[in-house]
Amino acid sequence: MNTVLDTVVIGGGAMGSAAAWALSRRGRQVTLVEQFGPGHKIGASHGATRNLNPGYHQPDYVAMLAEGLALWEELEQESGERLLTRTGVVTHGPGFDAQRIAAALTTAGIRAEFLHPAEAGEQWRGIHFDQQVLHMPDGGQLNPEAALPAFQRLASARGAEVRHNTRVVGFEVFDDGVRLTLDSAAGTELVTAAQAVVTAGGWTEKLLGKVSGPQGIRIPRLRVTQEQPAHFRVTDAGAVWPGFNHYPAPDYQGWYSPVYGMQTPGEGIKAGWHGVGPEVDPDHRDFLPEPTQLAALQEYARQWLPGVDADSFEAISCTYTTTPDEDFILDRIGPVVIGAGFSGHGFKFTPVVGRILADLATGTRPAPSIFRASR
């Protein structure tokens, strides 16, 4: 059987779910296919918390931040779900351009203020500060476990079809559309569509490697890593926790990267290195923390997070999919729209990315040039 569709979104994580939501709001026929079941923990979109960290100065990202804050509120109102908790975000350490970030955010109408380390320590005593702190009150924590079902439920209510446990095993690209071979418990199905939106996370290169036909698909190399943050047990029950980022000096010793963190209700204080885990095949992971990095993270917690027990924790495993310049890929190549390379800092932009992917799929407007696949 050959099924004819308008738009197929391949990958039902955060960005694919948001693209389905955005396309359905425009009245487009959209089918979302996801190779795993709902709520799976194999990729990058699981877990109960992600930082909405406003700490950007680049114009394209700042504009997306402002739009994203409004879209998250809109999604909350439409879904009836609480998706963003505005705890604020604090960034400290010598290794970032605080003045430039604060100026860019203020110009965009996003709040930013500087605090003396003693003042910050009084307000957030679970964290140790030794330098001036940039406080961004509009930031906070997002809940992926609530957001993904909300996107999909709202898309379905507008006519989108969401198919879990459905794998793309064949992918042909032509000048005027795509032909996909889908495999599920119901059997194998051949699907023809005007276009495909690829939001496959760590599986993007594997999926595009299946492409055949006259249209070639070339994108920047994507590096897939297994990241290993941890939830540390809170020892100071009265401490208030914002989201936090800590940037060391360029000549730092003993750190793998800047550190990010936040409170996950019921689980503890999440803290982790940024994008330094081992490179992996997403289909063949051990989900185990790298011992040396984990020990260094514990040492960080001992020195900089006095509100936790560094020896009492639960390790977490997730994937990052990163481009060489750490900017996203948002582009259209023939009938294929690609959204990739978001890990580490993409989740906060999810509804904006959905809007951009819908723009690309409908030919409304291009994405910002920094996200082009040909850059």
> What is the per-residue pLDDT for 1?
62
Over residues 49-96, the pLDDT tens digits come to: 999 999 999 999 999 999 999 999 999 999 999 999 999 999 999 999
Burial of 311 (0-12, 13-18, 19+ CB in 10 A): exposed
265 pLDDT tier (thresholds 50, 70, 90): very high
Averaged pLDDT, 302-316: 97
Judged against a pLDDT cut of 80, whether residue 215 lies above it is answered with: no
Domains of the chain, start order: 2-46+146-220+325-371 (3.50.50.60), 88-140+223-322 (3.30.9.10)
Q: What's the chain's average pLDDT?
A: 96
Q: The whole model's pTM is what?
A: 0.97
| Position 253 confidence tier, pLDDT thresholds 50, 70, 90 | confident
Q: Which of 56, 79, 97, 93 is nearest to 149 (CA)?
A: 79
Give 259: exposed, middle or buried? Use CB within 10 Å, 0-12, 13-18, 19+: buried
| pLDDT (0 to 100) of residue 4 | 84
- Report the pLDDT averaged over residues 333-343: 96
Rounded to the nearest 10 degrees, what angle do helices 144-157 and 350-362 cross at? 30
Q: Distance between CA atoms of 81 and 150, rounded to whole angstroms?
A: 8
Q: Note whether 32 and 152 are within 8 A (CB).
A: yes
In the prediction, which pLDDT does 316 show?
95
Looking at residue 251, its pLDDT comes to 80
Give percent of the chain above pLDDT 90. Answer: 95
So what's the pLDDT on residue 249?
A: 87
Among 143-157, 243-257, 314-328, whose mean pLDDT is lowest?
243-257
* Nearest Cα to Cα of residue 357 among 344, 338, 342, 341: 338
For residue 300, give the nearest of 271, 329, 343 by alpha carbon: 271
pLDDT on residue 212: 85
Is pLDDT at 146 greater than 80 in this prediction? yes
Which residues, at least 6 apart from 277, have a Cβ–Cβ distance to it below 8 Å? 225, 226, 227, 228, 290, 293, 320
pLDDT tens-digit series, residues 179-205: 999 999 999 999 999 999 999 999 999
The answer to whether residue 250 scores a pLDDT higher than 90 is: no
What is the tens place of the pLDDT at every residue in 267-304?
A: 999 999 999 999 999 999 999 999 999 999 999 999 99
Helix boundaries (H) for 5-143: 14-25, 59-79, 98-107, 117-123
Q: Among positive and negative, which fits the CA dihedral 229, 231, 237, 238? A: positive
pLDDT digits (tens, 9 = 90+) for 9-42: 999 999 999 999 999 999 999 999 999 999 999 9
Mean pLDDT of 210-218: 81
- Residue 317 CA to residue 287 CA, distance in Å, equals 6
